[in-house]
Amino acid sequence: MKYKRGIILTEFLIFVLLIGCSTTRDEPDVQSGLTSVQATATPDRTSGVSEGATYHYERGYGYQQAGVIDAAIQEYSLAIEQDDKFIQAYLDRGFLYFVRGDFDLAINDYDAAIDIDPELVAAYYNRGIVYFYMEDFVRAIEDYSKTLELNPIFVEAILNRAIANYYLGNYDETIEDADLALALDETLVGAHMVKGDAYDQRGEFEQAIENYNRALSLDPENSKIYVSRGTSYALQGEVDLAVADLEKALELGVDSNTAEFVQRVLDTLGG
C-alpha cells in the first residue's frame, strides 16, 4: 500500500512565478497552500529602454493584465526586436510562454535575461520552476540554489527546492530545506506538508504525523493534509484514525485521482 502521494499532493504547494524584479509578497493562501509572489507595475520596468520598445511593452503588459496571452507575447516580441537587452520583456514573455505550456521557449527567454544580467534572481527562480514542470528536477534544484546564493532568504525558492528534492527521493535534503523555510516563516503550510511527506517516505510515521498536525493547525480545511496524515496512520496500523482522516478528506473534497486513491485505501482498511 506504499504510495508516493507527493506526486499528487506536493505539486500544489508552492509553484509561483516572479514576473519582474519589483515584487510584493502576499499573505499565504491557506486554502491552496500557496504563498504567492507577484510583480508590481513600476516605472523602472522600462527604465533606460527606447520609446519604441516601451510602447510595445506597455501594450503587451495591458494585454497580459487582460489575459490575452497571444497578443501580449506578440507585443513583448516587438519590444525585444526594438531593444534586445530589454530584460523585463524577456521575463514577462517567458512567464507567458510558461503559462501557455511552451516550456522550451520560456527557458530561452530566461536564458536571455541571465545572459544580460547574470545576477538576476527572477530569471533563475522562474527558470527553476519551468525545469520542475519539465520534470528536470536536478536543473530545477540548481536554479533554486543559484537563486538562494543571490538571495538567501527567498523562502519560496527554499521550499521549491525542498519539493524538487522530494521528487528525487532526497528526503534528508527535503527535511533540511523545509526546516530552513520554516525558520524564516513557521506558518508555511507547504513546508510542514513536504517535511511530513519526507518522513513518511523514510518510514518515520510519528514524525510525519507530527508535521501533518502542524500543517492542519494552520490550515484545518485542507483535504490534502488529511489524505497524507490518514495514509501515515494506515501505514502505522492506526486503522480508526486513518479511516477518519480519509473520510474527512473526501468530505472536504479532493481531485478525482486522489479520490480514487483514497477510496482504494478505505476499501483495503474496510472503511
Secondary structure (DSSP) of 193-258: HHHHHHHHHTT-HHHHHHHHHHHHHH-TT-HHHHHHHHHHHHHHT-HHHHHHHHHHHHHH---HHH
Half-sphere exposure of 209 (CA within 13 A, CB side): 16
> Which position has the higher pLDDT, 50 or 39?
50
Half-sphere exposure of 192 (CA within 13 A, CB side): 25
Q: What is the reported pLDDT for 49?
A: 85
Q: Would the pLDDT of 199 be above 80?
A: yes
Q: Would the pLDDT of 209 be above 90?
A: yes
Q: Would the pLDDT of 132 be above 50?
A: yes
**Nearest-angstrom CA–CA distance, 124 and 113:** 9
Q: What is the pLDDT of residues 151-170, one digit of tens each?
A: 999 999 999 999 999 999 99
Q: What is the reported pLDDT for 195?
A: 96
Q: What is the reported pLDDT for 164?
A: 93
CA angle 235, 238, 174 (to 5 degrees): 40
Mean pLDDT is highest, among 46-50, 122-126, 139-143, 265-269, for 139-143
Which domains does the chain possess? 6-215 (1.25.40.10), 221-271 (no CATH)
Q: Which residues pair with 24 in a beta bridge?
A: 38
**Which helix (H) or strand (E) element contains residue 24?**
strand 23-25
Quick one: average pLDDT of 170-185?
Answer: 97
**Nearest-angstrom CA–CA distance, 204 and 120:** 39
Q: Would the pLDDT of 147 be above 90?
A: yes
Q: Would the pLDDT of 17 be above 90?
A: no
> What is the pLDDT of the chain when averaged over all its residues?
85
